[in-house]
Amino acid sequence: MPYWLFKSEPDTWSWDQQVAKGGAGEEWHGVRNYQARNNMRAMKIGDRGFFYHSNIGKEVVGIVEVSQESAPDSTTDDPRWDCVHIRAIKALKRPVTLEEAKADPRLQDMALVKNTRLSVQPVSDEEWRIVCELGGVEP
DNA sequence: GCCAACGTTGGC
DNA sequence: GCCAACGTTGGC
């Protein structure tokens, strides 16, 4: 099972808002980047991902699950852009900051560290376990 | 608020 | 098809 990471500026869409949506989940719209879109197209219902706050906090705050597979982005008529829906599963006991990820030798290859601008990223099994461990939750 | 990194666009 | 110009993202 692949793992993912979703970035959002909390000013625009925060973890709290995601949690408030509950099981219905929320369309992850607004992505206008091919790599990020391709990642979303590869997702299956039930795939897990991290929810990351960019700019403010700069930390992984929670775990989400894909609740609907890739479909046309409702916020544009441009047929190039698809997106998935995600729902909040649980918060990390302790957020894992970008600083921590950068400082951990085991996380040097994480896209979060290496390719900071990609907004929807793949996460390896190992990276998933390590970040869960740092965050104080079961993988 | 600045700027580096990166992706996209458009002229040739 | 190349590459310069431009726009955007996101860390600092």
A113 C-beta less than 7 Å away from strand B = no
Estimate in Å the CA A34 to C1' C2 gap, whole number.
21
Which nucleotides of chain B are near protein (any atom < 7 Å from a CB)?
5-8
Total domains in the fold of chain A: 1
Sign of the torsion formed by the C-alpha atoms of A56, A124, A92 and A133: negative
* Domain CATH number, residue A46: 3.10.590.10
pLDDT of residue A37: 94
Q: How does pLDDT run across A76-130, given as a tens digit for each residue?
A: 888 889 999 999 999 999 999 999 999 999 999 999 999 999 999 999 999 999 9
Q: Which of A72, A78, A48 is nearest to A60 (CA)?
A: A48
Q: How does pLDDT run across A23-38, given as a tens digit for each residue?
A: 989 999 999 999 999 9
pLDDT of residue A66: 97
Q: How does pLDDT run across A68-91, given as a tens digit for each residue?
A: 999 999 998 888 899 999 999 999
Domain that holds residue A18: 3-135
pTM as predicted: 0.95
CA distance A19 to A77: 28
DSSP bridge partners of A97: A59
A93 C-beta less than 7 Å away from strand B = no
Instruction: Name residues whose C-beta falls within 8 Å of residue A39's C-beta, 6 or more positions apart in sequence.
Output: A4, A120, A121, A122
